[in-house]
Structure 1
Amino acid sequence: MPAVAIAVSSYKTTDQTLLEDVLKDILPLLAKEDSSLDIVITEEIHSVDYLDYVLGKLYSGTREILLAEDLYDTPINVLFNQDSSHHLNNRWDLLVMDKGEVVHLPHKELKKVCLRKEIDKHERQDSTENDPLYTVSALGGTFDHLHDGHKILLSAAAFLTASRLIVGVTDQELLQKKQFRDQLESYETRSENVRLFLAMIKPSLEVEIVALRDICGPTGAVPEIESLIVSRETVSGGQIVNNARKSKGLKELKVHVVNVLGGKEEDGWKEKISSTELRRRRSIK
């Protein structure tokens, strides 16, 4: 179960062809059972919109290469805004750094590949100002078979939250009509996967997971929540939540919208990455 990591400055500042070459070099490792791939962004990210953009490019571009080898289930995790010593303390079997530096290389057949380090002035973030952080934020979802789209949503929420993140995970009783229901993960499994991912992305964050039994969940009633993070596909839910809060005399939430990974709004997001497709693939194995 090899654990592999690649350190990059960002999607914009790393030559995509060279990154693809690295990925192709490590495909034999990623094809092994229970392998994993972490991509570590070494650039400090200040804007949630920029983060959303970079995560979308890194997750989708990497997944496309893995899909060509039928590696649909190999987990990808994009890490950002973390202390470099934390990276080196991770128990990766292989860590490819900028300028071809390789840390702990047990697989001698892998060549060193240099990732471009120079940053063009036009490729920098639009602003060096930090986005405001909220003391308490919230989001919700089913989070079945935690996939790349879920990870982008959770990453944006973690980025925007200074202290406490409330995650509503859909209760099992509301999922009776889901397709391929026999492959649906339990509430406990889905909740634990969310917790583990957030602990990896932002260890300092206090994460509170609650069972979601209606569209609003705690966001419609908890006064201290300041922001709500939604996907572009479910943006209408933000207005429903704010209407519910307004009816109770609570302050409306600042709604942050994260892009959907794959698919287009005009066709109903048909091609988006989804838990349904992951369950379908498992049902035919």
Structure 2
Amino acid sequence: MTTTLRARSASVAAGLLLASFMAAPVAHADVLADLRGTVTADRLKYGPSCPPLRYNNVLQDIGFAQGQFVPDTAKSQGMIASYPGEVRSFIGVGDPMAAARTNAYEKGAGSLIGNCAWTEYGVSFIRYEPTETDWVGIVFGKPSGVTTPPSGPGTPGGGQDPAPAGTPAPPQMKACPPGGLKPEVPAGEQCPAPANAVRVSFVRAPFQWTVNVKNNAGIGGSCSYDARSTSGATGASREFDIDPNGSTTFQVPAPLPFTTYHVVTSCTGSYDGRQVEFGHDEQDVSL
């Protein structure tokens, strides 16, 4: 009897532990919007040679089914079978979300964005508090029977019928500098620069912290780090440079016991003839 009770207790404990890992909050709409915006912008970098990606909710649901601590394989396989074409999915893991997205890109999503044959996509995001990691899914679809015709002068079928009389001429375009959100914009418009691309994290120790700064923008520049307590006393200040898609680390004194610092990190650089703030991170930290 005692052996049976112990076995049942162990099973219950294991079930509770598994449930704690499987439980995950529903992704916030703003995080999904950020992921969609990044994928869409990266596709636009390939210019008119690739059609814009269309969002598909079935591909999004596949990402949610696969991007779990315990994947719902049966559900994802059923949805893949129902999709009228080919499916490729990439699940990235990291912290913060930008690191998980980068991991998905490194696993193959980044190269597939530029493949014009893949015309649909969906994204997913799940935060696992027990492991303090974000899981990002990027899923691509290639509908059956859909081909991407060649375009431009000199290609078979690439010629265009004359425009009807009175049709306005297409706008003149200008190329944008590298590192921005678009490869080109109509002449006279400002090229959109990256924003909120810098993330700051800390490695905590009793007397000294290591500050990690990651730049996810394609441009670099100068940064300032300023930590102040709620009483206004300066905790630490640093000025440093950061490269495009680069990172840096430095050490600062740990906050005093029972003291909270408000930390502001701002990075600015030159883009398309103007100074822009491509990174801004604010957070409250304490021991």
TM-score by length of 2: 0.28
Rg: which structure is higher? 2
TM-score by length of 1: 0.29
Name the one with the larger helix percent: 1
Name the one with the larger strand percent: 2
